[in-house]
Structure 1
Amino acid sequence: MPHDVIRLTYRVETPGDVDRVAAKIASDQSTGTFVALPGETPELKARVAARVVGIRPLPPVDAPSFGTPDGQVASDAGPFHRADVDIDFPLDAVGTDLAALMTIAIGGTYSIRQLSGIRVVDMALPPAFAKAYPGPQFGTSGSRRLTNVVGRPLIGTIVKPALGLRPAETAAMVRELVDADVDFIKDDEKLMSPAYSSLADRVRAIMPIVLDREQKTGKKVMYAFNISSSDPEQMLRDHDTVADAGGNAAVIAIQSVGFGGMNFLRKRSRLALHAHRAGWDLLTRHPGLGMSFRVYQKFWRLLGVDQFQINGIGAKYWEPDSSFVSSFGDVTTPMFSERDTALPVVCSGQWGGQAPETFERTGRTLDLMYLCGGGVVSHPGGPAAGVRAVRQAWDAAVAGVSLADYAADHPELAQSLAKFGGPSGDA
């Protein structure tokens, strides 16, 4: 691909002619509009107009992915023709601003009348974007360095219940988890700074436990405090509260804080930034609309996400296993260099039962964080036993031993198997 273009791939669906609709997307999203323009000269088009550079037909469908309230696309207008369409946008017309990229190349496409479905499925960016954005500050190698974990996944958990615990109650759970040698603990994405548990109070209650454990053992558990806010300056103040107390990580609800908030924070950050993607499902759950995670995650990696939550095998939410496996590959595939990859965070209803399949389907890699909420804190033997059970499950997976056999002399894993019952357990 030339270095002076941005290439978007759209999965187009229309009752009309795919070639004409593809040309309309390119025109409407660059120089054109609904009528010919006196200023739209051949020279101007050659310089800044988007161009269709590839069309790969897909099997047609009988029903439209979506209709319109005024019947512009009738459900009986089929067959509905489909294709993956590559369109190149000149870098000179878009620049490297991500808001401009989202507006020009993505935002307006969804409103084109002739479409009965439109989904952005891929995006290739030129090297200019690598120079314009900092990318991850820590990523996989930095997260391992901060936690001093090598040769196995980082084992993490989430403070549960998500809401309601006061700082002293949270700290008591943290102490038990830290003593169990967990690698990572995080605030739930729903816990920000409520009156009963302000961020400042949580930091004061939790960080002495983390630092005391580090002084005694040399290991510093990574605790990610949720500092998400619609106010970038408040988010930075909260960041400084965590960093100044000796913390090394923060949870960011990326969809909620937006590109600008994330960019503002990353340029000033001293913390590993752990991305929760709450709200992403709005953009992707409908298979004929929105965008794929492959596209979505590139924006956030450019902006500096170090750790990226991507659900997991047998997740408790809607996302199928194949989507998780694809997402794992997305965040670990360099855009420009190995430095811009993010640590994949396997989460959503995880416990030790999914470890063997996770290990196999992600290429037998150990470069991941395995994050369990209820799968740890709801263990019959308590959270510390939950941590040990998850670690035992991963030891079994790597050794190629069935969990049932490994549990014969590992009681914590045996208790997990008895409680959660199978890889689809809602933990």
Structure 2
Amino acid sequence: MTQRAEIRVTYRIETAGSPEAMAAKIASDQSTGTFTDLPGETEALKARYAARVISVTALPPTPAPALPQPGALAGTVYHRADAVIGYPLEAVGTDLAALMTITVGGVYAARGLSGIRVMDIDLPPDWACHPGPQFGVAGSRRLMGVAAGPMIASIIKPSLGLSPEETAEVVKTLCVAGVDFIKDDEKLMSPAYSPLEARVAAIMPVIRDHEQRTGKRVMYAFGISSADPDLMMRNHDCVVAAGGNAAVININSIGYGGMSFLRRRSALCLHAHRNGWDILTRHPALGMEFRAYQKIWRLLGVDQFQVNGIAAKYWEPDESFVKSFDDCLTPIFSADDRALPVVCSGQWGGQAPETYARTGQRLDLMYLGGGGIHGHPGGAAAGVAAIRQAWAAAEAGIPLEDYAKDHPELAQSLQKFRK
């Protein structure tokens, strides 16, 4: 018998009952079965279309449930396990709506669970039908003209409130400072005080002028997100018509359909902001690991993926960042479907040595500084210089304090930002 093609999903299960029985229940409920035996659910039908439990790996139990369990008896032990369930490709196909409905959406509703988390999704080669990144790591380097080393980036600050003309002045300062990439804040799309068309019209002449004078074309990513795909495409076309080459996409806000619609028509490098992912992942026994989450968005066409950073200003632990960084650079089907990891969130250069060490001394990354550049005592140019010096020290294996002795920008940065 020919082995069937399968989508394999790893779930972290917590239950007062048997994890094996719960895994079997999920496999049944999410494919051919229901709460009772069915006359039409023949062995032949199940062999072809039913999900199956491939493995159940026990984890240490816990005396308290991860999720509230009304009526639970004192002394109940909650068993935990990682269960791998295989869903036949023939039953799911290669449509994302089907994948999320069958393997993810209904799982959280199962009775008897005190915790359920999607840890990974392993897709068969048939899923390579999705377009994936148009530019990815190599294309991002080419568009920025950075052949090697980290790509140094910044973000418009203040995040909100600047007029198009004021924003253009900040862009000019950052271009002169020597960044490779600048982006709109994810919260900046097309507000009344800074409509996208006016912002594009003000910023792109600055980008072109800098390129003509220096030969360096700084990549600028405009916020084009909209829940209306047609409006988002008009925003896209506005950027392209002005000679722009990148866009910030709030992926959770536009959804899978919006991203698919955009990618298949896009000429821009798509920089993904994952705001809202935290809803899916902050509870360790609920939601979805970034490893599973990011595969879907990469297949849909994300080129660059923000993943926070070491000692980030947000909640995420360093270990989670390191895993996210590695996930972005792990091919799904080929090296071309990797997304450029964007190290961000409170980065100022002081985290460069640990970032370099803990990510395997890999330099396929964008290092994004906001306040760490704009808030430098010597101004934005000194802020960019300090970050580049920090990365040079990290690559050379020289402690930042030693490197700072003859690099005043880094010395100022250490004095202000190191806590």
Whole-Å Cα distance in 2 between the matches of residues 197 and 75 of structure 1? 58
Cα displacement (A) at 1:78: 2.0
| 2:61 is equivalent to residue 60 of structure 1 | yes
Corresponding residue of 1:245: 242
Aligned structure 1 segments of 4 or more residues deviating by more than 6 angstroms: none
| 2:370 is equivalent to residue 369 of structure 1 | no
Whole-Å Cα distance in 2 between the matches of residues 224 and 347 of structure 1? 15
Q: Show CA shifts across 1:269-327 (max 9, x none).
A: 10100000000000000000011000000000000000000000001111111111111
| 2:17 is equivalent to residue 5 of structure 1 | no
The alignment partner of 2:179 has SS state of: coil
Whole-Å Cα distance in 1 between the matches of residues 4 and 174 of structure 2? 49
Q: What is the RMSD of the two structures over their aligned residues, measured on CA atoms?
A: 1.1
Cα displacement (A) at 1:408: 1.3
Whole-Å Cα distance in 1 between the matches of residues 218 and 78 of structure 2? 54
Corresponding residue of 1:300: 297
Whole-Å Cα distance in 1 between the matches of residues 111 and 73 of structure 2? 14
Corresponding residue of 1:425: none
Equivalent positions of 1:306-325 (< 5 A) are: 306-325=303-322
Q: Return the match for 1:116 from 99, 114, 118.
A: 114
Corresponding residue of 1:163: 160
Q: TM-score, normalised by structure 2?
A: 0.98
Equivalent positions of 1:272-351 (< 5 A) are: 272-351=269-348
| 2:358 is equivalent to residue 357 of structure 1 | no
Whole-Å Cα distance in 1 between the matches of residues 47 and 148 of structure 2? 53
Q: Which moved more, 1:283-292 or 1:400-409?
A: 400-409
| 2:83 is equivalent to residue 85 of structure 1 | yes
Q: Is the 8 A contact 2:4 2:88 kept in 1?
A: no
Identity of aligned pairs, percent? 67
Q: What amino acid is the match of 1:195? A: A
Q: Is the 8 A contact 1:153 1:369 kept in 2?
A: yes
Aligned length: 417
The alignment partner of 1:394 has SS state of: helix
Whole-Å Cα distance in 1 between the matches of residues 140 and 111 of structure 2? 46
Whole-Å Cα distance in 2 between the matches of residues 214 and 192 of structure 1? 25
Q: Is the 8 A contact 2:186 2:223 kept in 1?
A: yes
Whole-Å Cα distance in 2 between the matches of residues 126 and 80 of structure 1? 33
Equivalent positions of 1:110-259 (< 5 A) are: 110-130=108-128, 132-259=129-256
Cα displacement (A) at 1:151: 2.1
Q: Is the 8 A contact 2:313 2:345 kept in 1?
A: yes
Q: Return the match for 2:92 from 91, 94, 101.
A: 94
Q: Is the 8 A contact 1:10 1:120 kept in 2?
A: yes
Cα displacement (A) at 1:192: 0.8
Unaligned runs of 5+ in 1: 423-427
Q: Is the 8 A contact 1:7 1:123 kept in 2?
A: yes
Unaligned runs of 5+ in 2: none
The alignment partner of 1:316 has SS state of: coil
Q: Is the 8 A contact 1:11 1:83 kept in 2?
A: yes
Q: Is the 8 A contact 1:63 1:75 kept in 2?
A: no
Q: What amino acid is the match of 2:89? A: L
Whole-Å Cα distance in 1 between the matches of residues 73 and 79 of structure 2? 13
Whole-Å Cα distance in 1 between the matches of residues 136 and 244 of structure 2? 17
Q: Is the 8 A contact 1:225 1:250 kept in 2?
A: yes
Q: What amino acid is the match of 1:392? A: Q
Q: What amino acid is the match of 1:57? A: A
Q: Show CA shifts across 1:190-225 (max 9, x none).
A: 111000001111101100000111112211100000
Whole-Å Cα distance in 2 between the matches of residues 230 and 369 of structure 1? 27
Whole-Å Cα distance in 2 between the matches of residues 410 and 150 of structure 1? 25
Whole-Å Cα distance in 1 between the matches of residues 152 and 318 of structure 2? 20
